[in-house]
Amino acid sequence: MTPVPATALAEALREAFDRLTDFVVVQTAGDRELELADVLCLQESVGIDDDARAMFASRLDEVQPDAPVGAVLLGVLLGLSAAQLQAERA
């Protein structure tokens, strides 16, 4: 696999953050709280399904038992979203 040029990766990550920010703004409009169903839809949009969630939960403890799950999942979501953006450009 050819490494992605740093500028292209940085752009994809910026766009991934923008997508996530837009998602949160829309889902929390009118002081609405983000609900589990919203987060599950976000996860599914980058290919995270029940099997992936189960694997994530079991393997995260192996790697970093005290890791904040939400923060790690956020990183995974951003990475997968950036990868999708890169694939769309290829």
Would you say the C-alpha torsion 62, 64, 69, 74 has a positive or negative sign? negative
Residue 82 · residue 12 · CB < 8 Å: yes
For the stretch 22-55, pLDDT in tens is 999 999 999 999 999 999 999 999 999 999 999 9
One DSSP character per residue, 48-68 reads --HHHHHHHHHHHHHH-TT--
Q: pTM of the prediction?
A: 0.80
Give pairs for 1-6: CB < 8 Å, separation 24+: 4/86
Predicted local distance difference test score (pLDDT) of residue 46: 93
For the stretch 49-74, pLDDT in tens is 999 999 988 899 898 889 898 898 89
Predicted local distance difference test score (pLDDT) of residue 89: 84
Predicted local distance difference test score (pLDDT) of residue 1: 64
- Statement: residue 5 has pLDDT above 80: no
Predicted local distance difference test score (pLDDT) of residue 70: 87
